[in-house]
Amino acid sequence: MAIPQPRIGVVTYPGSNDDHDALWALAALDAEAIPVWHEQHELPALDAVVLPGGFSYGDYLRCGAIARFSPATAAVREFADAGGLVLGICNGFQILCEAGLLPGSLLRNESLRFICRDVRLTVERDDLPFTTRCAPGQELVIPVKHGDGRWFAPPQLLAQLEANRQIVLRYAEPCNGSVDDVAGVCNERGNVMGLMPHPEHAVDPLLGSADGALILASLVEAARDRAVALA
């Protein structure tokens, strides 16, 4: 039997602008990348979902605050509640935080500047469906490009997240003022993850780094395992 190609959806909201890069990167990593429109009340049959970067609804009110109420977001919530794999990148991370699918919140960068550059990240967990291709403590180089990427959680919540091992990635040096240099977190169950850096912009050495492919290929692999299990 041929190894099935995992089906990974990428949700496009009004103002998403990294949806095509995400679709391209997932296809390059041998997934069947499927565009999902924000008005869809139901997701097609999928093995994983990516919420891409961009500026959904113009970042009005708070980043991700309005996309949180899109029909597709409700469908993604159901998908996640059923154990489905969901990865939020940048604005997708902000949407997942606003939706309560991930802990914390993303605030204006401490510098008030839009930051667009490669950053070094430390992998805190290599046992998630999003990080199995990474080595423990591995350093990754992946670009960020955000104005509102300062992840925040109050001390009590942060302690709880640390205890649950929900901090997945940290900036190797201070980037945007995030509490404890947090760059990516997951939910308690480990099937939903969000990160501010853009792995889809770093899947080919020609782009300066292929480290983003470690994250996305982990996801493709985990999605494929699920597809095989269901087949």
Partner 1 sequence: MRATVLVRPKPGILDPQGEAVETALEHLGFTVTGARVGKVIDLEVEAADPAAAKAQVEQMCERLLANPLIESYEIEVAG
Q: Which is nearer to partner 1, 24 or 152 (CB)?
A: 152
Is 186 known to be catalytic?
A: no
Choice from 112, 206, 229, 230 touching partner 1 (CB under 8 A): 112
| DSSP assignments along 169-195, one per residue | EEESS--S--GGGEEEEE-TTSSEEEE
Choice from 5, 17, 40, 105 touching partner 1 (CB under 8 A): 105
Subset of 160-179 contacting partner 1 (CB under 8 A):
177
Choice from 6, 9, 92, 104 touching partner 1 (CB under 8 A): 104
Q: Does 154 bind partner 1 (CB under 8 A)?
A: yes
CB of residue 167 vs partner 1: minimum separation in angstroms? 17
**Exactly one of 90, 97, 175, 186 is catalytic; which is it?**
90
Number of residues binding to partner 1, judged by CB under 8 A = 20
CB of residue 148 vs partner 1: minimum separation in angstroms? 11
Subset of 61-100 contacting partner 1 (CB under 8 A):
61-62, 65-66, 69, 98
CB of residue 66 vs partner 1: minimum separation in angstroms? 8
| DSSP assignments along the chain, one per residue | -PPPPPEEEEEEPTTB-SHHHHHHHHHHTT-EEEEEETT-SS--S-SEEEE--B-GGGG-SSTTTTGGGSHHHHHHHHHHHTT-EEEEETHHHHHHHHTTSSSSEEE--TTSS-EEEEEEEEES-SSSTTTTTSPTT-EEEEEEEESS-EEE--HHHHHHHHHTT-EEEEESS--S--GGGEEEEE-TTSSEEEESS-GGG-SBGGGTB-THHHHHHHHHHHHHHHHHHH-
Q: Does 109 bind partner 1 (CB under 8 A)?
A: yes
Q: Does 108 bind partner 1 (CB under 8 A)?
A: yes
| Residues tagged active-site | 90, 198, 200
Give the binding site for partner 1 (CB under 8 A).
Answer: 61-62, 65-66, 69, 98, 104-105, 107-112, 150, 152-154, 157, 177
